[in-house]
Structure 1
Amino acid sequence: MFRILFLLFIVVPIVELYILIQVGKVIGGWQTILLVLLTSGLGAYLAKTQGRTVWRRLQTELSLGRPPGDALLDGVCVLLGGLLLLTPGFATDVLGLILLLPPTRVPIKRIAKRWIAKRLSRGTWIVYRR
């Protein structure tokens, strides 16, 4: 857990700052700021449209009595992708875009399913009940 938090709070911001500085040197400071704002706006729009699509699919699967496995994973990907796109920086924007676009979500969902299945089979998944 410490490694993940270290990555999130130390390494990612340093990488983002380095990329922002390098892009700023090439295209200029104001253009870099404008580009970051543009990608954040695009990310918010994409998250909204993809979120609606996933929500409709989730409702359809539930109304048909099917378990919403893929729709739930899509929802998690869209949520994380939207958060990453709203975070200032270019590296997080690329990761967020990958999570938001349906064709690139397919391999990510496959990896997530394997990870969840492995955790369930080992018994390392903790479920809290009331």
Structure 2
Amino acid sequence: MRKLSGLILFLPLIELVLLIAMGAAVGFLATLLWILATGIWGAWLMRTAGPNAMARAQRDMARTGRGEVDGLGVAANFLGGLMLLLPGPVTDLFGLVLVTPFLRRLAFGAWLAGRLQQVVVERGGMGGGPFDTGRPGSGNVYEGEAEDVTPRDPRDRDRIEHDDRRR
């Protein structure tokens, strides 16, 4: 969380430095046109993300009987449009990733893989269940068929015993 707040605080400074570098590399007019084009595209995306999704859902409903709205896609297009509306190469890059479905899936998959790896490393393995003590082989293992296992007392469903009547 601290990294994110630091990024948000320094993002305008980073954007300004990158815009100046971009202006020096490709020229002032090209940089200005880039800012205007991405701003117009972002405003258009923000305005049309919801209505386009609703129209697509209505068409699907009329054709197939099932109309579904991709809420995550609509939110990603709206947020991507907002990022494109803000001037600067970093926010434009984030906006482009959010707006393009292939890049969005790729970035989300990479983020999810990183989070999963972090969880596995923190817990020390793939365990972490309610009965996991952290030692290999420390859990109870019950083998057999479901109909072989009966509750000991109907009021005590947590305790089970093996039913030998079927053998």
Into which bin does the TM-score normalised by the smaller protein fall?
0.5 to 0.7
- The unaligned stretches of length 5 or more in structure 1 are 119-130
Q: Hey, which of these two has a bigger chunk of strand by percent?
A: 2
**Paired position in structure 1 for 2:73:** 74
Q: C-alpha root-mean-square deviation of aligned residues, in Å?
A: 3.4
Larger radius of gyration: 2
Partner of 1:8: 8
TM-score by length of structure 1 reads: 0.64
Residues 47 and 103 of structure 1: CA distance in aligned 2, closer, same or farther (over 3 Å)? farther
Q: TM-score, normalized by length of structure 2?
A: 0.52
* CA 38–14 in structure 1, closer or farther in 2 if over 3 Å, else same: same
Alignment-mate amino acid for residue 7 of structure 1: L
Aligned-residue sequence identity (percent) comes to 33
The CA distance in 1 between the partners of 2:111 and 2:53, in whole Å, is: 17
Equivalents in 1 of 2:81, 2:53: separation in Å?
13
- 2:94 is aligned to 95
How far apart are the structure 2 equivalents of 1:54 and 1:65?
10
Letter in 2 for 1:83: L
Match of 2:84 in 1: 85
Question: Structure 1 pair 98/24, CA: closer, same or farther in 2 (3 Å)?
Answer: same
Once the two structures are superposed, residues 56-115 of structure 1 have per-residue CA deviations (whole angstroms, 9 ceiling, x without a partner) of 456768x8497x6xx221122112101100111112112101111222223345578887
Gaps of 5+ in 2: 120-167
- Cα distance in 2 between the residues matched to 1:87 and 1:106: 23
Change (3 A) 1:65 1:45: closer
Q: SS in structure 2 opposite 1:42?
A: helix
How big is each residue's C-alpha offset from its partner over 1:34-60, in whole Å with a ceiling of 9 and x where there is no partner?
Answer: 221111112222444444333445676
- Greater helix fraction, Structure 1 or Structure 2: 1
